[in-house]
């Protein structure tokens, strides 16, 4: 049985003071973690404040990116080793904004996934097609290729424990959500791909989120789909009331 996971991705928003205020506002009202896992992924500069504020609560904490080397001459990068030492649980990798603006490749994403596992954290691997790819009806082959490349060389045990976020680029920050049927269709395809690459047990264990204009008004409908195990939420995760409505969607 997969535990749903609702994650906020704050992107380049919030400072340490706002982070502390946000956590203070939500931490007593988060759902039982056996029912829904609540997670905030924050900019690296806010992670220390996030960890301190979330201590003793049901809030998991994540980073939005990391490098694939633990240390060395890599100016400006974030070490997965240090993220683990800081008590970070999850790291988002392969977000379309990283792929697009920062030229992150499938190969980088695969190396990052391995580095995150080597440092005892869990990757959230993002995938998703552009509007152009969807209009050409090539979205399945696109996403399947991204998944195969990201998982290259990972064990069934590792894949069972990780999270995949399907985020169609045309639905991110646009207010245009994929329909719950479109989201389900791709999440099912991803699960079938993992079954083909590994086995049924691994496919049943892996958690797959949908991301792209998820908000309190549509979360319940999306979460009612059998292959959607959570949401990766940008804009609607920045407000404490909205975040609480998302994580408490079962109430």
Ligand X SMILES: O=C[C@H](O)COP(=O)(O)O
Of 38, 212, 219, 228, the residue at the interface with ligand X (CB under 6 A) is 212
Q: Kindly give the interhelix angle for 139-151 and 106-118, rounded to the nearest 10 degrees.
A: 40
214 binds ligand X (CB under 6 A): yes
128 binds ligand X (CB under 6 A): no
Q: Which of 122, 193, 213, 218 binds ligand X (CB under 6 A)?
A: 213
- Quote the radius of gyration of the chain (alpha carbons, Å): 17
CA distance 230 to 240: 18
- Which listed range, 74-82, 145-153, 209-217, 222-230, lies at the site for ligand X (CB under 6 A)? 209-217
Catalytic residue among 37, 60, 64, 95: 95
Of 235, 246, 247, 249, the one binding ligand X (CB under 6 A) is: 235
- To the query of whether residue 167 is one of the catalytic residues in this protein, the response is yes
Stretch that binds ligand X, among 12-20, 21-29, 155-163, 230-238 (CB under 6 A): 230-238
Tokens of 67: 């490098």
Say how far apart CA 46 and CA 51 lie, in whole Å.
9
- Rounded to whole angstroms, what are the CA distances from 235 to 9, 89, 167, 178, 246? 8, 22, 14, 16, 12
Within its chain, how far is the Cα of 62 from the centroid? 9
State which residue, 1 or 12, has the beta carbon closest to ligand X.
Answer: 12
The size of the interface with ligand X (CB under 6 A), counted in residues, is: 14
Closer by beta carbon to ligand X, 46 or else 167: 167
Is 138 strand, coil or helix?
coil
Q: Taking CB under 6 A as the rule, does residue 173 contact ligand X?
A: yes
Answer yes or no whether residue 19 interacts with ligand X by CB under 6 A: no
Residue closer to ligand X, measured from CB, 203 or 228: 228
211 near ligand X, rule: CB under 6 A: yes
Among this protein's residues, is 60 annotated catalytic? no
Please tell me whether residue 107 adopts helix, strand or coil conformation. Answer: helix
Q: What three-state secondary structure class fits 135?
A: helix
Residue 230 interacting with ligand X (CB under 6 A): no
Q: How many Cβ atoms are within 10 Å of 41's Cβ, its own excluded?
A: 28
Report the C-alpha gap between 104 and 97 in whole angstroms: 9
Residues in 150-169 at the binding interface with ligand X, rule: CB under 6 A: 167
Contact 90, 7 (CB under 8 A): yes
Residue 100 interacting with ligand X (CB under 6 A): no
Which tokens is 103 given? 């030229």
Contacting range for ligand X; rule: CB under 6 A; set: 133-141, 150-158, 197-205, 227-235: 227-235
Residues recognised as catalytic: 95, 167
Interface contacts to ligand X, rule CB under 6 A: 9, 95, 167, 172-173, 211-214, 232-236
Known binding-site positions for substrate: 9-11, 173, 213, 234-235
């Amino acid at each position: 049985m997969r535990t749903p996971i609702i994650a906020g991705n704050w992107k380049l928003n919030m400072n340490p003071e706002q982070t502390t205020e946000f956590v203070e506002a939500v931490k007593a009202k988060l759902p039982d973690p056996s029912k829904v896992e609540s997670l905030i992924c924050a900019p690296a500069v806010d992670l220390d404040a996030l960890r301190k504020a979330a201590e003793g609560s049901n809030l998991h904490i994540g980073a939005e990116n990391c490098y694939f080397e633990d240390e060395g001459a890599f100016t400006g990068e974030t070490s997965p080793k240090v993220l683990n030492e800081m008590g970070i649980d999850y790291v988002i990798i392969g977000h379309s904004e990283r792929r697009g603006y920062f030229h992150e490749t499938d190969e980088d994403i695969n190396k990052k996934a391995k580095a995150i596992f080597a440092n005892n954290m869990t990757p959230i691997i993002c995938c998703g097609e552009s509007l152009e790819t969807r209009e050409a009806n090539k979205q399945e082959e696109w996403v399947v290729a991204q998944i195969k490349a990201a998982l290259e060389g990972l064990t069934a045990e590792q894949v069972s424990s990780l999270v995949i976020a399907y985020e169609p680029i045309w639905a991110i920050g646009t207010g245009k959500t994929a329909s719950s049927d479109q989201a389900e269709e791709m999440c099912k395809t991803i699960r079938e791909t993992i079954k083909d690459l590994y086995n049924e047990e691994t496919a049943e264990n892996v958690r797959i989120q949908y991301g792209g204009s998820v908000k309190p008004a549509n979360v319940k409908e999306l979460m009612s789909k059998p292959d959607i195990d959570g949401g990766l939420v940008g804009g609607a995760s920045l407000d404490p009331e909205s975040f609480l409505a998302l994580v408490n969607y079962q109430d």
